[in-house]
Structure 1
């Protein structure tokens, strides 16, 4: 199924130009919240993917037990070991709030884990992000958090959730989707139950769905959306069947969350006038980011698999991200050529 031409062109409009007009930070400042004692690879993959995708700056907000390992993986990442087990959300609130105010998007979940203190920090970060009107991506154990309390994200249309098959089943059950609902309609039902949150259901084909018909997603009641967004479709579903790799090793979802996060960061820069003509409603950014991130990630997976075969690991995808971006969007890092549909 080809991506609709109009949608593809809108995605390309969110790509910052490389023509010397932008300064550092105007092509995206991405934050990744996650990383505890047992999980250091996932936040690294999400954060480094953001840089390879084209973000200017990438921050990792993590536990001190994960910080040194993550720092050793790449000097390009900015690591903040502020999620201390011996502290409390109340004590960390001010530091975390100030840090988020410097970012365009927050990716919550890679390497988060399910320990109570990390889950508490994730809830706090999501609350602060919502208060600031930030775009957010929720993946991995952030979805476990949502499953336990749907209200933490319900109705927040600047959010994208990226569940895999197991996470999607749990999320569907948590929001009360009828198990007899046809498989191809469940993502839309989850989006509706979450009040218009964009759902990126990962699988053999990625399915992106957003339903804004519910009362929770009423644009007239939202202070974050412009009036022209009301003209957009109440329901939209896009299937991304771009060829991916045949090996589904752990960590590829983290590459995706970092990629989607970067597109959302670009959307924020576009919204604030750093580039572009501001003709795309802000309400469409999550859908566009999910589709664009999916297309590039699947392409990077295919390219890495073609090179490494059965032995492919997620690290093999990192050097393929930039090349995959060029393959999908046909740019020479300017995002202005025709691209490949």
Structure 2
């Protein structure tokens, strides 16, 4: 884990004045329908609290008004209209995605056919552009219906909790009782698994992404046991998708040579992003629970994300002049 943590730190942009706006990560969150406005907000604002420069929310017009009132720091695109087809929205989606480093799909997505259609279109466009993607919430349900959407795509991370993993396992014919070191999921500890054969790269059981179970030895599994809060908030998974998404955005900047020495191969990025995002999210949960106890809500975690980041990675990653005038 120490070696992995050292690699994660290399993906963190320096705070030395050398980078311009947007070079420390541009994150997009696709989700947000009529009944679900909190989830995309939590994912998008967590990305900013984690350290991303810009955070976009791509949502339906019925959700946009509420999301805009939650924070003026978010860039909101209300283009997912129920009266439009995915083909009609595709040009706008493609334009927005071209400005992003990563796309998080699923928070507040819902299962309405029109939102699912837009999510599939966005995922297809992201794959064509070679973007990193994070799939969460109802995007996991979408993937369970058609695993070909991500099968073989090495720049995808999925973040199932215990219940979502069980549902995915059932949908895809994977035994949910598979031993912990052969699967993945988010729970008391976060189990992160990446198929190193090249068939897939995901925060999930590699079987779910289409890997051959016989290639078990080529699967790298890491268990993150960073202490978290004793109560799991309903939106904590959205915070996780935002933090993992930001780590992947930084990985893309690293890959493009904006900072760093380029010594870490891109095949490592999904694992490193999942580890970094998990550690910070769990730490933020613990800090929020310490203050609020049983009554803790996801909103309480947001002010703790930046402090959790400093706790996990050290104050030096925040910049040597932090706190000085």
- Give the structure-1-normalised TM-score: 0.87
Aligned to 2:119: 122
Aligned to 1:7: 4
Aligned to 1:204: 188
| 4+ residue segments displaced more than 6 Å | none
The gaps in structure 2 that reach 5 residues or longer are: 202-216, 321-325
Aligned to 1:150: 147
Q: Would the alpha carbon gap of residues 15 and 96 (structure 1) be closer, same or farther in structure 2, given more than 3 Å must change? A: same
- Residues 24-35 of structure 1 mapped to structure 2, 5 A cutoff: 24-35=21-32
8 Å Cα contact 1:329/1:335 also seen in 2? no
Aligned to 1:36: 33
Question: How far did residue 217 of structure 1 move?
Answer: 4.6
- Give the structure-2-normalised TM-score: 0.91
Question: How far did residue 179 of structure 1 move?
Answer: 4.5
Corresponding residue to 2:315 among 331, 338, 341: 331
User: Equivalents in 1 of 2:228, 2:269: separation in Å?
Assistant: 24
Q: Would the alpha carbon gap of residues 180 and 291 (structure 1) be closer, same or farther in structure 2, given more than 3 Å must change? A: closer
8 Å Cα contact 2:183/2:193 also seen in 1? no
User: Equivalents in 2 of 1:120, 1:234: separation in Å?
Assistant: 34
8 Å Cα contact 2:310/2:318 also seen in 1? no
The gaps in structure 1 that reach 5 residues or longer are: 188-200, 219-232, 337-341
Aligned to 2:108: 111
Corresponding residue to 1:17 among 14, 17, 25: 14
Partner secondary structure for residue 31 of structure 1? strand
Partner secondary structure for residue 260 of structure 2? coil
Count of residue correspondences: 305
User: Equivalents in 2 of 1:335, 1:122: separation in Å?
Assistant: 37
User: Equivalents in 2 of 1:248, 1:34: separation in Å?
Assistant: 22
- Residues 63-78 of structure 1 mapped to structure 2, 5 A cutoff: 63-78=60-75
- State the Cα RMSD in Å: 1.5
8 Å Cα contact 1:62/1:80 also seen in 2? yes
Q: Would the alpha carbon gap of residues 335 and 237 (structure 1) be closer, same or farther in structure 2, given more than 3 Å must change? A: farther
